[in-house]
Amino acid sequence: MAEAASKTGSRGLRMMIRLLGLLIIGNIAFTAYVWNKLSTHGEGQTRIAFVTASDAPYWELAIQGASDAADEYDVELDVYRPTKGPEEQSIILRGLSHSNVDGIAVSPAQPDDQASLLNHIAGSKKLVTIDSDAPGTRRHFFVGTNNYAAGYRAGTLVKEAKPDGAKVLVTIGTTVQFNGRQRWQGVVDALLGRPPQAGQDVEISLGPQADGKYSIVATATDAGDRALAKPLVTEALAKHPEIDCIVGIYAYHAPAAIQALRDAKRKGVTIIGFDDYEATLAGVESGEVYAALAQDPYHFGYTAVRSLVGLHKGSAAAPVSESMLFSCAVITKGNVTTYREKVKKTKTVAAK
């Protein structure tokens, strides 16, 4: 019996060693891929890497903005869109840290775990964060939204839509990413009647919270897995039939909530969402979504690349503060048509 256990343990150890070897090989291979990709760039040009948090459609306009700035400022731009989560993003960043790029724009997927890596990069290259920040690191500046203020605005929209009170489900991708934490805290503070806290970082408590007429019945986290968003809403609705409002923190949450409510044949549940996915805008038009807060990813990308060029060359394009913040547009049934026209113009200009 002891011999059998020994053999089992040996097999497990061998498997662990093989898995570790594959991981190391994968890191080396991807680092080599990054290096080889960058080695094809032209000599003398400023070289910038643009690293998204995921491959979500949200990033398409940000990449377009970055590409337009690269064309305008004669920059060689490489775009990296991780498809396998924060670990893959860290592998990309490690590869870039050993490359000869002049600047990196990144949306850190796990800012706390990646802090030492980001600090290492910032020691030799210009580093900016986009969309989601990594406060406390040596990054040069942040381009994006004041996510706490955006979350607080979402909370006030709940009160506007439900003046007599609400039982709220909050859906969030991950509490690890800084933008998610900040938006969540803003929603909570607004609903519970607290004054704005100027976006300070907080320790998230996902349990039920209540104050007077408004209560957060549940918070559903999907770890950034878009496929889980709808099932989690469905599960929460079944477990808490009193829910009459859903606040979706990430871009894919409002569409997921719309579909879950349709499948459950639930009426009278108010949705507040973020960003401008087509399903969200259609939901605003149909009345299924009360409002959505749309960021400006095109200008996030454009400003990040332009500012990195300025930092590298010491030109007037360099940022003058640690943050470059863009406000969110509040999309409602009354202005959704106008908003669509505005976005269409942006895409048309970008395509030229």
For the stretch 50-99, pLDDT in tens is 999 999 999 999 999 999 999 999 999 999 999 999 999 999 999 999 99
Do 268 and 164 sit in the same domain of this protein?
yes
Number of domains present in the structure of the chain: 2
* Cα–Cα distance measured from residue 39 to residue 203, given in angstroms and rounded to the nearest whole number: 43
Local confidence band at 11 (pLDDT 50, 70, 90 cut-offs): very low
Do 247 and 110 sit in the same domain of this protein?
no
Task: Let me know: does 147 contact 129? Beta carbons within 8 Å.
Answer: no
What is the pLDDT at residue 212? 82
Q: CB-hemisphere CA count at 13 Å for 193?
A: 7
Segment 244-266 shows an average pLDDT of 97
Give yes or no for residue 17 having a pLDDT over 80. Answer: no
What is the pLDDT at residue 13? 47
Is 348 within a domain? no
For the record, the structure tokens of 228 come out as: 């889980």
Nearest CA-CA partner of 256 in 239, 238, 277? 277
Is 347 within a domain? no
Do 207 and 177 sit in the same domain of this protein?
yes
pLDDT digits (tens, 9 = 90+) for 281-314: 999 999 999 999 999 999 999 999 999 999 998 8
Do 140 and 195 sit in the same domain of this protein?
no
Do 122 and 154 sit in the same domain of this protein?
no
Do 121 and 226 sit in the same domain of this protein?
no
Give strand pairing partners of 130: 143
> In this structure, how many other beta carbons lie within 10 angstroms of the beta carbon of residue 30?
15
Local confidence band at 10 (pLDDT 50, 70, 90 cut-offs): very low
Is 277 within a domain? yes
Could you tell me the CATH number of the domain that includes residue 303?
A: 3.40.50.2300
Give yes or no for residue 4 having a pLDDT over 70. Answer: no
Do 159 and 204 sit in the same domain of this protein?
yes
Percent of the chain with pLDDT over 90: 73
Do 158 and 269 sit in the same domain of this protein?
yes
* Cα–Cα distance measured from residue 183 to residue 188, given in angstroms and rounded to the nearest whole number: 9
Segment 214-221 shows an average pLDDT of 94
CA torsion angle 259 261 262 265 (round to 10): 160
Do 79 and 168 sit in the same domain of this protein?
no
Is 5 within a domain? no
Give yes or no for residue 24 having a pLDDT over 90. Answer: no
CA torsion angle 122 126 128 133 (round to 10): 10
pLDDT digits (tens, 9 = 90+) for 133-151: 999 999 999 999 999 999 9
What is the pLDDT at residue 205? 65
pTM above 0.95, yes or no: no
What is the pLDDT at residue 301? 97
Domain that holds residue 244: 147-294
Do 177 and 211 sit in the same domain of this protein?
yes
* Cα–Cα distance measured from residue 297 to residue 285, given in angstroms and rounded to the nearest whole number: 22
Strands (DSSP E) found in 196-253: 209-211, 214-221, 245-248
What is the pLDDT at residue 345? 78
Do 207 and 242 sit in the same domain of this protein?
yes
Is 222 within a domain? yes
Task: Let me know: does 261 contact 280? Beta carbons within 8 Å.
Answer: no
Q: Tell me how many helices (H) and strands (E) the chain has.
A: 11, 13
Is 2 within a domain? no
Do 175 and 130 sit in the same domain of this protein?
no
Is 69 within a domain? yes
Is 110 within a domain? yes
Length of the chain: 352
